[in-house]
Amino acid sequence: MRRDTAVVLALLLALCAACSRERAPDADAADDPGRAPSGSVTISGDDSAAAALTWRRPAVKLEDAPDALEAARERAQSALEADRLYEGEDAAIPLLLAVLEREPEDAGARKALERAREQLIAHGDAALADSGDDAEALRRARGAAAVARTVWPQDEATQAYLQRVDVADRLWELNRGAEADLEAGRLGESGEGALPKLREALELAPEQPRAMQNLAAVESALIRRAEDAAAEGEFAVASQWLDHAQAIRPEMETVPDARERLERLRALRIARLRDEGVAALSEYDGIAKARAILAELLLIAAPGDPLAADLRERIDLAVHYGLFRPGQVFTDALAGGARGPRMIVIPHGAFTMGAPAGEPGSSDSERPQRNIRFDRGFAMAVTETTVGQYRRFVDATGYQTRSARRGFSMVYDERSGNFVRRSGVDWRHDEFGRQARDDAPVLHVSAVDAAAYADWLSEESGQRYRLPSEAEFEYALRAGGDGPYPWGEGAPPEGAGNLTGELDRSPGGRRWSNAFPGYGDGYWGPAPVGRFAANRWGVHDLAGNLSEWVADCWHDNYRRAPADASPWVNPGCRNHVIRGGSWASAPDQVRSAWRTPAQRDTTNARIGFRVVREI
């Protein structure tokens, strides 16, 4: 027996103590497959159970009848064709061995046994192909090894297969050890831990998927350390961790991408400091505080950094002009460490609210027209409130929305093409009642739920957040225009928003019965916020996507409405106003002046909200 063969067999025999108590197969069993080998091999199972599997040849009893051998041959042939090779007395290999014990010169049985050996090793190789991360596949491969080693111990194909099993075993142990190191944080960048094990695994099997995945995990862990350091403002330390990561897979773009992310983190930290400086300007002695923050910012910013220049300019402006400028986008810092929604400053000015007499599709509830003037600008959320933003509020407060408390909301039903009541749906779900993405606009919230979010933002930020008034909503929606639609006259231009278009199709192939001719936007249901172009004042989705709650109570018309832009509120009112078209609104409902009532507890898949902030 060659030395490498002996090593392989010894390794297999060492897989369990039981093997050492078995006598090795007779040396000439390979020359006489009909002779019953006496040895057996215990093969370990998966690494959690380590179940012992030993192939012990099933006992096959052949009758003395003249046709017993022929019957056994036929049974063996059927088993071969069915790939039942060694388990049970009706398996091919036990039957053929029994035939050859009775008739050692049976050429047909010998040929069939050779075919069984080929099939066995082929099945074992197929299992080995999946054994990198599949313990059951490795168990099957080891089982095939036990049979092959017992029946054909000297066969070259068997020896080669046993070596492949040995490699698979070693790969499994190396990967398992590396994964344990990874879990314990022993990455191996200094020579001890996961990295050396994985490099050994890849020497045994270059590009082995599990080892490559684990190698990528080590790289990712180093990158996470760099990101943690950057989060603490330690960008020099972060760069050192990235240098370690770069050495692992230098041909990949992962670390260069991470360097870009860290630069973005640096930029985000600079932006956060800039925002803190801006926020400080509204406080007592705010200019001095903002200048101290600017000094901290300059320690991590590159010379000429635009945000540093912006804060410096704002400090200069605050001395003379106050905090904000029209079109300025900002976020407020929240007490919990997060950021509030992105807000944009709407310029002060005047507009004519409502629909003129004779506007197609209008109603008397949109009249009489009235002139509204904004002597001071206000900030409006750039997008509708998202699921992720609302989640932060719910997680922070434990707030229970109306739909969550009552256990249902209205969703779109593809089968009927209508909106139907569905149990178990709340703010976490989309228009079909499935789990919603964090960047999707939040649905299934009532007017009360929307106001609660605004109140929370006010408490967290120290600023005054609220739902917009009808006047503020229409003013921002029109953005200086005076046509019937937010874009002016006629059909919507391409990309105008998430509207009901003639070209839109539902997942099941439905189309709208009342839609804008020739228009399509690629969505049936709400789009993630900000997917469509902003209007002239930088606000997204006012003209579509979702209809939105405003602060006003419903009144049948504008007679006796407030002369300014404040909400028209009656204490205890049950019906609130909804403004703006949605993904499922008829074209007339997309008009700038359109308004409709809804009970304050209404929740469905067409209504969301956004907030405004006083400045």
Q: What is the pLDDT of residues 423-471, one digit of tens each?
A: 999 999 999 999 999 999 999 999 999 999 999 999 999 999 999 999 9
SS3 541: coil
The label of the residue with tokens 């929307």 reads 450
Confidence tier at 41 by pLDDT (50, 70, 90): very low
- The answer, yes or no, to whether the previous bond of 368 is cis (omega within 30 of 0) is yes
Amino acid at 532: F
Confidence tier at 54 by pLDDT (50, 70, 90): low
* Tokens of residue 392, six digits: 């932060």
Q: What percent of the chain has pLDDT over 70?
A: 90
SS (H, E, C) 208-265: CHHHHHHHHHHHHHHHHHHHHHHHCCCHHHHHHHHHHHHCCCCCCCHHHHHHHHHHHH
CATH classification of 364-373+379-613 is 3.90.1580.10, yes or no?
Answer: yes
Question: Residue 596: its pLDDT value, please?
Answer: 98
Confidence tier at 173 by pLDDT (50, 70, 90): very high
Task: State the chain's mean pLDDT as an integer.
Answer: 88
Question: Residue 131: its pLDDT value, please?
Answer: 87
| Candidate from 38-47, 75-84, 281-290 with smallest mean pLDDT | 38-47
SS3 116: helix
How does pLDDT run across 293-321, given as a tens digit for each residue?
Answer: 999 999 888 889 999 999 998 887 566 43
612/572: higher pLDDT: 612
Q: Indicate the DSSP class of residue 137.
A: H
186/375: higher pLDDT: 186
Nearest to 520 by CA among 537, 532, 535, 529: 532
User: Does residue 28 surpass a pLDDT of 60?
Assistant: no
- Residue 188 phi, psi dihedral angles, 5° rounding: 95, 15
| Candidate from 9-13, 202-206, 213-217, 223-227 with smallest mean pLDDT | 9-13
Average pLDDT over residues 376-405: 96
Cβ contact 112:74 at 8 Å = no
Confidence tier at 25 by pLDDT (50, 70, 90): very low
* Tokens of residue 351, six digits: 């507009």
**Predicted TM-score (pTM) of this structure:** 0.52
* Other CB atoms within 10 A of residue 146 CB: 25
Give the separation between CA 147 and CA 44, rounded to whole angstroms: 14
User: Does residue 583 surpass a pLDDT of 60?
Assistant: yes
Average pLDDT over residues 388-414: 97
Question: Residue 59: its pLDDT value, please?
Answer: 86
Question: Residue 283: its pLDDT value, please?
Answer: 87
SS3 387: helix
Q: How is the chain split into domains, by residue range? A: 3-175, 185-252, 266-323, 364-373+379-613
Give the separation between CA 607 and CA 614, rounded to whole angstroms: 23
| Candidate from 367-376, 395-404, 533-542 with smallest mean pLDDT | 367-376
Strands (E), 382-531: 408-413, 418-423, 465-466
Nearest to 254 by CA among 284, 295, 212, 286: 212
The label of the residue with tokens 């002695």 reads 285
Angle at 580 between CA 574 and CA 582, to 5 degrees: 100
Angle at 129 between CA 125 and CA 135, to 5 degrees: 100
User: Does residue 31 surpass a pLDDT of 60?
Assistant: no
How does pLDDT run across 272-282, given as a tens digit for each residue?
Answer: 999 999 899 88
How does pLDDT run across 492-529, given as a tens digit for each residue?
Answer: 999 999 999 999 999 999 999 999 999 999 999 999 99
β-pairing verdict for 547-553 and 607-608: parallel
Q: Indicate the DSSP class of residue 565.
A: S
Q: Residues with Cβ < 8 Å from 533, sequence gap 6 or more?
A: 495, 496, 540
Question: Residue 12: its pLDDT value, please?
Answer: 36
* Other CB atoms within 10 A of residue 578 CB: 25
Question: Residue 347: its pLDDT value, please?
Answer: 86
User: Does residue 473 surpass a pLDDT of 90?
Assistant: yes
438/189: higher pLDDT: 438
* Other CB atoms within 10 A of residue 101 CB: 17
* Tokens of residue 385, six digits: 């409130």
